[in-house]
Structure 1
């Protein structure tokens, strides 16, 4: 399991979830990009929020898109929510399941 967490900018909603399904399907470049951003990206939430079992994540993304929309329209660089993956979990899972990507990240 690769632990991840998301929270809205106003901290009204926060949750932890398993990001492993994203890592199974992600292309190597996306994983390398995520690692280069200190394991922080909303892509994971965007990719998983419609899958069964991720209803809480969908609620968080929907809240950020609707309730925090005005703030994000005023400043397009403002992030309505943030997601962070546990780097230890991610690197360990990659070493066991996608060693070619793990090797590239250690260079």
Structure 2
């Protein structure tokens, strides 16, 4: 299991979830980019929120879109929610299940 934490910008909603399905389905460039971004990306939640078993994550994404999106109109770079993956768990999973991707991350400077 690869733990991830997601919270809204106003900290009204916060939850932990299993990000492993995202790592199973994502392309190598997306995973390497995630590592470069400090293991933080809203795209993970957006990708998983429609899956069975991720109803609470769906609620968080929906809340951020409905309640916080209007606040971001003045500053389009403002993130309405953030998701952070446990980088050490991600690397351990990648080394076991996708060693080519783990090697790409390890070779790239500053990505881990």
Runs of 4+ off more than 2 Å: none
**Inter-partner Cα distance in structure 2 for 1:3 and 1:75:** 30
1:75 Cα deviation from its structure 2 partner: 1.1
Structure 1 unaligned spans of 5+: none
Q: Which residue of 1 aligns with 2:33?
A: 33
Paired residues, number? 107
Residues in 2 aligned to 1:69 and 1:35: alpha-carbon distance in whole angstroms: 26
* TM-score (normalised: structure 1): 0.99
Computed over aligned residues only, the root mean square deviation of the Cα atoms, in angstroms, reads: 0.5
Q: Please give the alpha-carbon distance, in whole angstroms, between the structure 2 residues aligned to 1:102 and 1:20.
A: 14
SS of the aligned residue for 1:68 comes to helix
Q: Distance in 1 between matches of 2:49 and 2:97?
A: 23
